[in-house]
Amino acid sequence: MSCQCHGSTGEENEKFKVIDRIIEAHKGQEGALIPVLHQAQEVIGYLPEDVQAYIAEKLGIPLSEVYGVVSFYTLFSTEPKGKHVISVCLGTACYVKGSGNILAEFEKTLGVKVGGTTKDGMFTLEACRCLGACGLAPVLTVDGDVHGRLVTKDVAEIINKYKTGN
């Protein structure tokens, strides 16, 4: 089976060999699907339909079951993500303290809506319900790094920090 998510055939084949090893390590174990999907996503970066079908076939389960798991858990993505993933908390404490405005500023500055990735592939913008850092509200993460007590003017600084790598 070939995957259309890769550039070169050599790279594609190598990634599927890695996925084969992942599947072999988990095959026959109860609850194998989630760790297989998680590790496959680490290899490829996301889980396009052809990869889901490949995993379903190799594990001997229906594609609908694989898709159900992938679409249910926010951990999994069916679209490529940017180099940096920005997750703005919209939980109650953060929202009351202005995270909606911060999210709107990111949308305006990056030129993408929630769930979108910038054309240069640098940033993916997400919203989440709670990051468990209510004392720092409003809060967001970039690649898991927490940024708290934010105001809208912090948006440009955060974007610049990750663009330049500083």
DSSP annotation of 134 reads: G
Higher pLDDT, 145 or 5: 145
CATH architecture of 84-164: 3-Layer(aba) Sandwich (3.40)
d(CA 59, CA 28): 8
Query: Over 60: is that where the pLDDT of 76 sits?
Result: yes
CA separation for the pair 76, 46 (Å, rounded): 7
Domain spans in the chain, listed from the N-terminal domain onward: 9-72, 84-164
Distance CA 55, CA 61 (A): 8
pLDDT, tens digit, for every residue of 85-117? 999 999 999 999 999 999 999 999 999 999 999
